[in-house]
Structure 1
Amino acid sequence: MPTNQHQLQPRRAPRQRRSERTRDRILDAAVQVFTKYGYARGTTNRIAEWADISVGSLYQYYPNKDSIVVELAARHLDAGIAAASEREQAGTPGSVAGVIRAIVETAITNHRQDPEFLRVLLEQAPRSRELMDKVAEVQHAATDDMRRLLDQYPDVNVDDKDVAARLVVTTIELLVHHLMAAPKPIDVAGFQNELVAMLTRYLAG
């Protein structure tokens, strides 16, 4: 994995609709290539071929495949942020179990597509400083939101709500990431129900 952070940045941001479409084609093709071949064999030549562009055109947008996968990871985080925002706008459920279920459902929905590519992100993708900063920012915001939610429910029965908020957010993130990306498929409905039950018992048991 490269240590030069500059090598993990896109060469340019698309300014025209045509450039945006080309950028999206590259990113979509990269997901397919990394899913099919893995990260090591997911070359820029293959990505360009799947995107139906020349490799020279690809390099106008991304200096290497590392910068492509870093942007894909950032896009995955952005999708999670957008989904969480939609959930919050839908209103707060009337029980601890309800709010935990809504959060777990949102997390699972954001990870149901392309589990093979999700595994690539988790196990093989490089990490840029900017990406890790964004991960930390998302985690911090999710923990703050959870802490506020815990104050809204009188049946929450934990000694330290600050610690509880971090535990709940981290548990959901880690379990959903790893089990949805696991080589052996999991019963999603069963996993969701058990995770909700476990966290509800912890918070209100």
Structure 2
Amino acid sequence: MPRDNSPRRKPRQVRAELTRDRILTAAAHIFTEHGYAAGTTNRIAERARVSIGSVYQYFPNKESILAALLVDHIERDAAAALNLDGLPLPEALRLFARRTIDNHQHDPRLLRMMIEEAPIDADFIGKVLAYEQERVAQVRALLAGHPQIRVDDLDTAALMIVNTVEMLPHKLLATRQLDPRRLEDELVTMLTRYLTASDQTAG
């Protein structure tokens, strides 16, 4: 039987929601400071200043806490919708890249841990896919509205752009002392050249 990593209790009152947020904030600090393996629920409870029983009221194990951190990250990013309509292509790509880079800058080591070690279950996969599909559709619409685009397959191009803009900051900002604005500039240059190169031919 698969392990249940879904939250046990849905906070329905302000006090309960604040307790959940305290647990997640404490867990983010503990995972960053001690690593995921050493980030026990006891340490999380101590950092959050709640009983271990209170932690288990909301989360059955630390895997579910890590998954909740990543889902919250995804939902915050998805909620910050961008309006790219009518913008010149380089400006729209820059805005798209900047939001992703800024979202990764808060704590890139924690984000990398969440992405690489969060438990995989159907609910989590569903949220990730829905988030990706929304962003791909947004980029697909952007490409379709620009006559200078030279790629033949807009669906594949949109999927590649979303994954490039998501994964490069995730990898590079977590492992290297890289200037985020320099990364932004290079991403925009790379994607603009890919999308507008005049010598592309159908595969």
- For the criterion TM > 0.5, the same-fold answer is yes
How many Å separate the matches in 2 of 1:94 and 1:23? Answer: 40
How many residue pairs match? The answer is 197
The alignment partner of 2:138 has SS state of helix
Whether 1:200 and 2:192 are equivalent positions in the alignment is yes
Whether 1:179 and 2:176 are equivalent positions in the alignment is no
- Identity of aligned pairs, percent? 43
Question: What are the within-5 Å matches in structure 2 for residues 1-205 of structure 1?
Answer: 4-6=2-4, 8-83=5-80, 85=81, 87-88=82-83, 92-182=85-175, 184-205=176-197
How many Å separate the matches in 2 of 1:27 and 1:167? Answer: 32
Two-structure CA RMSD over aligned residues (Å):
1.4
TM-score by length of 1: 0.91
TM-score by length of 2: 0.92
Q: Is the 8 A contact 1:143 1:169 kept in 2?
A: yes
How many Å separate the matches in 1 of 2:149 and 2:40? Answer: 50
Instruction: Report the CA distance between 1:93 and its aligned residue.
Output: 5.0
How many Å separate the matches in 1 of 2:109 and 2:137? Answer: 31
Please give the per-residue CA displacement for 1:115-153, whole angstroms capped at 9, x wherever unaligned: 121121133222222111111111112111111111111
The alignment partner of 2:177 has SS state of coil
Please give the per-residue CA displacement for 1:53-106, whole angstroms capped at 9, x wherever unaligned: 1111111111110111111110010011012x1x22xx5353111111010011
Runs of 4+ deviating beyond 3 Å: none
Q: Is the 8 A contact 1:79 1:110 kept in 2?
A: no
The alignment partner of 1:185 has SS state of coil
The AA in structure 2 aligned to 1:13 is K
Q: Is the 8 A contact 1:10 1:67 kept in 2?
A: yes
Q: Is the 8 A contact 1:70 1:128 kept in 2?
A: no
Gaps of 5+ in 2: 198-203
Please give the per-residue CA displacement for 1:133-183, whole angstroms capped at 9, x wherever unaligned: 11111111211111111111111111211211111111111112212222x
Gaps of 5+ in 1: none
Instruction: Report the CA distance between 1:5 and its aligned residue.
Output: 4.4
